Every structure is written in C-alpha cells, then in structure tokens.
Structure 1
Amino acid sequence: MVRVLLALDDDIPQAHAQTNAIEAMVDTATDAEVYILHVFRDNPEGASVHQVEAVREAKDRLETAGVTVELLEASGSPADEILAHAEEHDVDQICVGGRKRSPTGKALFGSVTQDVILGTHLPVLVCGSEDE
C-alpha cells in the first residue's frame, strides 16, 4: 500500500495537475490511500475542507480511480501543518503544488514548498499548474 499526503489550496488548475500526478502514481500501486489536506491560513468563519471546490474535485476523481481518500483540515502555517500531518498519518510521500516563477525566482521554490522539502526525509512530489 502507498499512502500519500496531497496538500491542496483553492487553486483548481493546480489541484487538477496534482490529482493527475497522483492518479498516474496509484495506477501502478496495488492499493493506495490519499489524505487530502487543506490548510486554512485564516479561518474566522469556520469554513470546512468540504467547502473547498479544489478538494471536492480531487476527492471525486481519486475515488473514481479506486483510491481510498480521507479529507483533513488544519489552520495555521501551511508548511508546518503539512509536515505534522505527514508524520501523524505515516505517509510514504507528500504532494504539493508549485507556482510559476520569474526567471530569477525559478531557482527557488515557493516558501511553503521549500519548507516542506527541507523539513522532511520523505519524497516530495512538486506539481506545476495545469495552466502552465
């Protein structure tokens, strides 16, 4: 079994790219479990992970592909929460999104992505947006 933590924000094209990558990966696995995590930076109105369209779409697509999916939510620092949930759920890999950068910025990942990569011993799959 392969267990993946799929960290999504509310960017739908980004979520599509990440979901495509996970679908391709689980095609070769005998069994797969994906934890979809959405981290709210600020959530004064008490929104739920179930209200995030990108999360709902990813969940539906992965379940259609035969993947067991569990939705997770947190509030606070995205990188810290991603790393904490990866450890808590004993995942084999973390999947995060990457943003298109300027020529100078291409040398560096976004701060959340970079913090996740540097903060774990696990493999980290970084996916660009479907629009890119």
Structure 2
Amino acid sequence: MTVLVGYIPTPEGAAALDRAIAEARSRSAKLVVVNASRGDVFVDDRFVQSDGVEALRKRLDGEDVAYELFQPIGGHDSADEVLDAAEQHGAELIVIGLRRRTPVGKLIMGSTAQRILLQAECAVLAVKAAK
C-alpha cells in the first residue's frame, strides 16, 4: 500500500506532508513524496533545492514511515507528475494541499489541484494549512 503526497515548500505543502505522514503511519503504508518542476525556468520556488531536500529527508527519517522522495524534472506539469507517480506506485491515496481562497477565488480552484482531483484513479485528500 502507498500514500502519495504532492509536496511544495509552502504552508499548504507542509500541511499535506503532515497529513500524508499520519495517513501512511495509520495504514502501515509506504509514503511517496513527489516534488516536481517543469524544468522550463531557471528558478522554481516550488521545487525543493539541495538544502531543502536535506531538511526534508531529515524530517522524514525522523518519522516512523518508509518513504521515497521523487523530484522529476521532465517538462510535465506537477499534476501529470503526481498522477503518473500514483499510477506507477499503485497509490491508494493522494494527499494535496490547497490554498485558502476568496469567495470569488473559490469558484476557480487551482488547475493542478483540480486536475488531480478529477483525474486520479484513487482517493484524493485535499487539506488546508492552519490559518
């Protein structure tokens, strides 16, 4: 069994990671962390850099969960990378973080989150960061 999390270094990403760790632990499942970049820009602040990767691995090493960290840079968007990884690893659950939105913004969800919610073959859990 596998729990997959789409991770970006933001409060929403941290909330998704926290929940994914808890879900993997409660299900005795492996955790797959996907942090993707399209690779079409020189700096992508959603892509965890080397010092951030070290901190993320240290955090995950401290949890009682088996994990894999993937950082694909292939020109695909993040939704495709998360969905492909979920299929490849046979994920039973995908966890993603959502930003808080204004009433007007609630009409249009972020395209990455929307695509994952609509196209995933497994359950998707969307979480928000604490205020």
- Per the shorter chain, which TM-score range? 0.7 to 0.9
Give the Cα separation in 2 of the matches to 1:120 and 1:52. 31
Give the CA RMSD over aligned residues: 2.6
Tell me, in whole angstroms, the C-alpha distance in 2 between the residues paired with 1:8 and 1:42: 16
In the superposition, the TM-score normalised over structure 1's length comes to 0.79
Structure 1 26/105 Cα, relative in aligned 2: closer, same or farther at 3 Å? same
Matched, 1:40 2:37: yes
TM-score, length basis structure 2: 0.79
Check 1:66–1:112 CA distance in 2 against 1; reply closer, same or farther (3 A cut): same
When the two structures are aligned, how many residues end up with a matched partner?
127
Paired residues of 1:49 and 1:72 also in contact (CA < 8 A): no
Q: Give matches, 1:71-90, under 5 Å.
A: 71-75=69-73, 76-90=76-90
Q: Assess if the C-alpha contact under 8 Å between 1:79 and 1:116 holds in 2.
A: yes
**Deviating more after overlay: 34-43 vs 15-24:** 15-24
Q: For residues 121 and 85 of structure 1, what CA distance do their matches in structure 2 show? A: 12
Could you list the runs of 5+ residues in structure 1 that have no partner in the other structure?
none
Partner of 1:5: 4
| Distance in 1 of aligned mates of 2:40 and 2:13 | 20
**Structure 2 gap segments, 5+ residues each:** none
Aligned partners of 1:46 and 1:103: how far apart in 2?
31
Instruction: State the alpha-carbon separation in 2 of the partners of residues 36 and 15 from structure 1.
Output: 11
User: 1:102–1:121: structure 2 CA closer, same or farther, 3 Å change rule?
Assistant: same
Give the aligned residue type for 1:65.
Answer: E
Which amino acid in the other structure matches residue 66 of structure 1? D
- Residue of structure 2 equivalent to 1:113: 113
2:50 is equivalent to residue 51 of structure 1: yes
Residues 23, 5 of structure 1: alpha-carbon distance in 2 compared, 3 angstrom cutoff? closer
> 4+ runs of 1 displaced by more than 6 Å?
none
Mapped partners of 2:25, 2:100: distance in 1: 27
Which structure is higher in strand share?
A: 1
Paired residue for 1:18? Answer: 16
Would you say the 8 A contact 2:117–2:124 is kept in 1?
yes
